[in-house]
Each structure stands twice: as C-alpha cells, then as structure tokens.
A = this chain, B = another copy of it.
Amino acid sequence: MSDTLQTAVVGVTGYAGAELARLLLHHPRLQNTPPVFAGRVDSNGSSGDASRNSIPLAEIHPQLAGGHTANLKLESFSWELLASRGVQILFLATPHEQSRTWVPEALARGLQVIDLSGAWRLTEAANRAIYNFEDEGTKLAAETQSQAVYGLPELHREQIANASLVANPGCYATSIILALRPLVAAGIVDLNHGIVADSKSGVSGAGKAPTAKTHFMYAADNLSAYGVFTHRHTGELLEQIGIDQSQIVFTPHLLPIPRGILSTIYAHFGGVQTAESISSIYHDFFAHSPMVRLFDKSLPQIQYSVRTNYADIGFQLAPDGRRAVIVSCLDNLLKGAASQAVQNLNIMQSWHEAEGLE
C-alpha cells in the first residue's frame, strides 16, 4: 500500500536533488519509508573518500542536518542496492547523458521513473537534435521515448497517472508553457504576429559545477542574455504549446539571484480582448490545478514564488485590447524541477496532487 512506497533519488548532491530530498523527507505519505539516496559516494568533491561506501547527507548539505534527517546517508549506487531495498519509484536528478543510459535499464528492471533531465522530453527528432544523444536513432531509444509522458500535470494529468516514465519539464519551459498554452488553446493568439518569451533565471539554473559563468564575479551585479535562438528548452515550447519555430522567440537571461524564474511573455490577439475574457480563460484552464496561482489585480514577482511550489501567472492587457504582457514566475528548483517531480509522483500514486507541497 501507498504508505510503504519505496522511492530512490539519484543526484541528490545537486541543487534540484537537494530540494527533492527535502520534499520527499517531509512528504506525509513517505514518513515510514524515507527515500534511498544513491550516487557516487565521493559526489561531494573534496570530502569524497574512496574507502567509504556512504556519506552522511548532512555532510553534503549542512542545512539539512538536525531532527529526524540527522542519520540519512548517500549510498553508493548500484542496481543491486535499489533491488535489495525494494525501490519502486526512481527519481533521476542526473545529467541527460546519464538518464539516456539509465532509464531504459530502470524500466527493464520494472521501476517507474521520474527523470528530471532533458533526456526524454522531446517527441520530435528535429527538436532533439540539439542534444546530440549518442543513442539517437536506436530501437531502444525509440521504444523508451514512446513510453515517456511529458510531466507537466496541468496539461497531461491523465497520461502521467498511468506512466512508467515521466519526463519532468524544463524550468524555463514550465514557466512559459503554463502562461501560453491556455491562450493558444483558446484560439485567441495571433500566431503570425510572433510571440516573445523573455525569461530571466537565477544562477542555480546553471548547475553546481564551478565555471566562469557561475563565478560570483561574473553573475553578481550583472545581467546577461544567452542561448539566443539556440536554447535547448525551445523544443519543449514548440511541442507543448503547439506552435512552430517561426512563431516564437525565446531569450533566457542570467539573473544575479540564487533562484527563481520570471518570464515576460508578449502576445498579440486576433480580436479585441478584455481583462475579464483573458482572466476567465486562465481560471477555466487551471480550475483543478492547485499548484498554479492566478494574479488578477497585480503581477507576480520572483519573491512571491521563490521557495514555494507554485507557478504564479498574471497579465496586463494593452489599452487597445489586442496585446498582452503575461508575467509568469516560479522557483526553478521547485515547480521548475523538484516539486513538479513530487506532483507527478502524487498523480502516479493517485494521491492528492498537492500532497506534501502546500
């Protein structure tokens, strides 16, 4: 039964992995069976030690120390470890190359997988091309991809409920798709005019590896655009919103803050809209979506959604009723990664979608 569900997390040393660990450890349904944390036991860099086969989690993430988490450990990954502990659901917070290899193996071993990487999000080969997957074109890859469900609950709740492989969406993609899909689905957006999605993300989105771009001196007191016309999340936008490349420009920027995404989205409408007509499209679309908060009188800001599990959406209509600026915010490590993964877990287990997330 559900209260004994055994989960495992690989990649708990990264930022999203740490948040996922925290959420699962506090999840009401998992109090009896804390997750198995598996990985390379030297994952923590300097404190790695080849003679050990486990590391206290609090050594990797000192902020997690204390209380009932005090004795948790990162254990050395092996398929045997997962089998011996009776793991049923596997979360992968790993680089996409690793997920390409491990997911087919996990499925073959009968595990259900929620993969936080970009490995299995894209249906179209053309959109996948930018990843240069080594196994692209193989039968195994095609079969695995065919089992994958894009894990955005607000769009694919039913398929997620029955999925063996959930491809958890990208953080930028989540913020933009949630803001645009309702309007495009309602048929009011003039796609020939071209949509603009100008997104800004905190530095945790760039990962934990120290690089020239994650150096404090590069990111602090700065703002920079990157990946213009080439960002990997673009394919997710096209497939999930249902538009083609000529109909959107997406520009990510690196913000001098630890976490949070704000996307400013510009759309033209075919006819004249009112604030009420737009608002009711959003309210209808998200009527049963507890993790989306709609702002009717003001615009969301990054500080409202950071460290929450919500996506926040608001908009401002032009006086001519033919254009709108839509602002969409979320925490890139939560609704953009870890809490969305838990939301998917809840749906797969037929628990309340927001359980452990409010």
Q: Is A132 an interface residue (CB 8 A)?
A: no
* Contact present for A66 and B310 (CB under 8 Å): yes
Assembly CA distance A203 to B302 (angstroms)? 16
Q: Is A228 an interface residue (CB 8 A)?
A: yes
* Contact present for A198 and B290 (CB under 8 Å): no
* Contact present for B216 and A302 (CB under 8 Å): no
* Contact present for A203 and B225 (CB under 8 Å): no
Assembly CA distance A323 to B325 (angstroms)? 20
Residues in chain B near residue A194, CB distance under 8 A: 193-194, 266, 268, 323
Contact flag A223-B320 (CB < 8 Å), given A198-B264, A325-B228: no
Q: How far is the CB of A256 from chain B (nearest CB, A)?
A: 6
User: Size band of the A side of the interface?
Assistant: 35 or more
Q: Is A217 an interface residue (CB 8 A)?
A: yes
* Contact present for B358 and A221 (CB under 8 Å): no
Residues in chain B near residue A85, CB distance under 8 A: none
* Contact present for B257 and A223 (CB under 8 Å): yes
Contact segment of A31-39, A122-130, A172-180, A247-255: A247-255
Q: How far is the CB of A63 from chain B (nearest CB, A)?
A: 5
Q: Is A113 an interface residue (CB 8 A)?
A: no
Assembly CA distance A194 to B66 (angstroms)? 33
* Contact present for A257 and B325 (CB under 8 Å): no
* Contact present for B63 and A224 (CB under 8 Å): no
The residue that A221 contacts in the complex, of B217, B253, B264, B306, with Cβ under 8 A, is B306
> Which among A208, A216, A218, A320 has the highest number of chain B CB atoms within 10 Å?
A216
Q: How far is the CB of A349 from chain B (nearest CB, A)?
A: 19
Residues in chain B near residue A151, CB distance under 8 A: none
Assembly CA distance A275 to B193 (angstroms)? 23
Residues in chain B near residue A137, CB distance under 8 A: none
* Contact present for B221 and A302 (CB under 8 Å): yes
Assembly CA distance A208 to B208 (angstroms)? 17
Contact flag A229-B264 (CB < 8 Å), given A220-B220, A293-B66, A308-B66: no
Residues in chain B near residue A246, CB distance under 8 A: 320, 322
Chain A 258-284 interface mask (CB, 8 Å, partner B; 1/0): 101010101010000000000000000
The residue that A225 contacts in the complex, of B210, B249, B255, B299, with Cβ under 8 A, is B299
The residue that A217 contacts in the complex, of B15, B223, B323, with Cβ under 8 A, is B15
Q: Is A184 an interface residue (CB 8 A)?
A: no
Q: Is A119 an interface residue (CB 8 A)?
A: no
Residues in chain B near residue A46, CB distance under 8 A: 212
- Nearest B-chain residue to A15, judged by Cβ: B217
Can you pick out 25 interface pairs between chain A and chain B where the beta carbons lie within 8 Å of each other? A15-B217, A65-B304, A66-B290, A66-B358, A193-B194, A196-B266, A200-B223, A200-B253, A203-B217, A216-B218, A216-B219, A216-B220, A220-B256, A221-B221, A222-B257, A222-B303, A224-B262, A224-B302, A226-B299, A228-B316, A228-B325, A229-B319, A229-B325, A255-B256, A256-B256
5 tightest A-B CB contacts, nearest first: A67-B358, A210-B210, A224-B301, A228-B316, A198-B198
